[in-house]
């Protein structure tokens, strides 16, 4: 039995090392792959290798997996790091896909895209231009009527600077729309996929429970908020599809994921910001992979 284990260790340990090296190489080179390539294969590869190392290495050493030992914990942590690296890499690939779409294609007016779809020519995945619209109207802490807002309300510090955080407030209309001159389409969105410039506005601070503050004039606060104002110019990165009813249209990301909505005058320059964000994801995935390799190498 000892001879078999030694033979298995001699034959299979180099394969494990090669697998870890290939995995690390794939993490750093994912950023240079075509954006149309789906990252699911890498997620499956990370998970399979992590599970194999956690289950196979204890068997090869002749120790059971059930008792929790320091080596098993190290291997489990290394496997978790590999899975996290896979998730971060997949996230970076999706961000890079959106960045390349914003930088590499001229925005198509929504009316032209709808006409092409009606004629049987699907415009596919790209950037669509129109105006933001919504079914309901909200009001931000700074008093702006909007379709959504994400605000951090701070007390006014010395010399008008940002003081302590008083509250974090966000709200979104249940249905967001991209509107053209003649057509409009619902947008499948997520709060993390709404990009708008941050603006600072004065707002009343919520009163405390002291009698003086309840009876006196409301204190002033500053709201650092991102708002989406109906009628504002908007770019949507996604795929135009027919809606559930005739004559309706919807914009969604790949695979039914949320589409990216970019508002503001500098929307066309957001591609560079997203590209840098994607590379930060790839760098984080590489660091996680290095940590996993270091931890798993100690148990081999």
DSSP per residue over 65-124, as a string?
SSS--HHHHHHHHHHHHHHHHHHHHHHHHHHHHHHHHHHHSPPEEHHHHHHHHHTT----
Same domain membership, residue 247 and residue 233: yes
For residues 205 and 219, is the Cβ–Cβ distance under 8 A?
yes
CA separation (Å) from 268 to 99, 176, 188, 215?
Answer: 10, 20, 21, 48
Is residue 202 classed as helix, strand or coil in its secondary structure?
strand
Is residue 143 in a domain? yes
Tell me, yes or no, whether 163 and 262 share the same domain: yes
- Contact by Cβ (8 Å): 225, 198: yes
Which residues fall within 8 angstroms of residue 237, CB to CB, at 6 or more apart?
98, 101, 102, 126, 127, 128, 253, 259, 260, 262
Burial of 203 (0-12, 13-18, 19+ CB in 10 A): buried
Residue keyed to tokens 């690939």: 93
Name the strand (E) or helix (H) holding 213. Answer: helix 211-215
Question: Based on the domain organization, do 119 and 261 belong to the same domain?
Answer: yes
Same domain as 150, residue 216 = yes
- Whether 168 maps to a domain, the answer reads yes
7-50 pLDDT per residue, tens: 555 555 666 666 666 666 666 665 555 444 445 555 566 666 65
Do 143 and 185 belong to one domain? yes
HSE, side-chain direction, 13 A CA sphere, residue 167? 14
CA gap 154, 132 in Å, rounded: 28
Task: Flag whether 273 is in a domain.
Answer: no
Residue 171: what are its φ and ψ, rounded to 5°? -155, 150
- Phi and psi (nearest 5°) for 115? -60, -40
Task: Check: pTM over 0.75? Answer yes or no.
Answer: no
- Bridge partners (DSSP) listed for residue 237: 127, 260
Q: Are residues 28 and 151 part of one domain?
A: no
Residue 263 and residue 190 in one domain: yes
* Helix (H) or strand (E) segment spanning residue 31: none
Q: Are 205 and 220 in contact (CB under 8 A)?
A: yes
Query: Could you tell me if residue 289 is inside a domain?
Result: yes
Q: Could you tell me if 90 and 121 lie in one domain?
A: no
- Establish if 87 belongs to a structural domain: yes
In the chain, which stretches have pLDDT less than 70? 1-73, 101-105, 160, 206-219, 265-273, 298-300
Question: Is position 64 within any domain?
Answer: yes
Query: Residue 216 is part of which domain span?
Result: 107-268
Say if 274 falls within a structural domain: no
Query: Is residue 35 domain-resident?
Result: yes
* pLDDT attached to residue 122: 82
Kindly state whether residues 132 and 77 are assigned to the same domain: no
Q: Are 223 and 152 in contact (CB under 8 A)?
A: yes
Q: Which residue has the tokens 């997949």?
A: 90
Which secondary-structure segment (H or E) carries 30? Answer: none
Is the domain of 121 the same as that of 250?
yes
Q: Looking at the structure, do residues 57 and 92 belong to the same domain, yes or no?
A: yes
Which value, to the nearest 10 degrees, does the dihedral of the CA atoms of residues 267, 272, 276, 282 take?
100
150/204 same-domain check: yes
**What's the pLDDT at 276?**
76
pLDDT, residue 5, reads 47
For the chain, how many structural domains are there in total? 2
């Amino acid at each position: 039995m000892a001879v078999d284990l030694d033979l298995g260790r001699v034959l299979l340990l180099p394969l494990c090392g090669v697998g870890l090296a290939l995995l690390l190489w794939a993490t750093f080179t994912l950023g240079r792959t075509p954006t149309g390539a789906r990252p699911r294969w890498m997620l499956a590869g990370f998970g399979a290798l992590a599970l194999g190392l956690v289950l196979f290495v204890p068997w090869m050493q002749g120790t059971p997996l059930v008792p929790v030992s320091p080596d098993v914990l190290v291997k489990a942590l290394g496997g978790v790091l590999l899975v996290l690296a896979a998730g971060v890499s997949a996230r970076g690939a999706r961000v890079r896909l959106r960045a390349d779409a914003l930088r590499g294609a001229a925005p198509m007016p929504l009316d032209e895209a709808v006409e092409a779809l009606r004629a049987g020519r699907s415009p596919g995945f790209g950037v669509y231009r129109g105006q933001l619209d919504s079914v309901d109207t909200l009001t931000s802490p700074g008093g702006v009527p909007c379709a959504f807002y994400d605000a951090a309300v701070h007390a006014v510090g010395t010399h008008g600077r940002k003081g302590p955080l008083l509250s974090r407030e966000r709200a979104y209309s249940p249905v967001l729309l991209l509107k053209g001159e003649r057509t409009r389409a619902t947008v499948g969105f997520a709060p993390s996929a709404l990009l708008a410039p941050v603006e600072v506005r004065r707002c009343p601070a919520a009163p405390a429970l002291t009698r003086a503050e309840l009876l006196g004039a409301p204190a002033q606060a500053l709201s650092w908020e991102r708002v989406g104002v109906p009628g504002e110019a908007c770019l949507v990165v996604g795929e135009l599809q027919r809606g559930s009813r005739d004559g309706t249209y919807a914009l969604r990301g790949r695979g039914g994921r949320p589409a990216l909505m970019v508002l503001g005058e500098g929307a066309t320059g957001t591609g560079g910001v997203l590209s840098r964000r994607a590379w930060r994801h790839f760098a984080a995935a590489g660091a996680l992979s290095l940590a996993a390799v270091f931890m798993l190498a100690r148990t081999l």
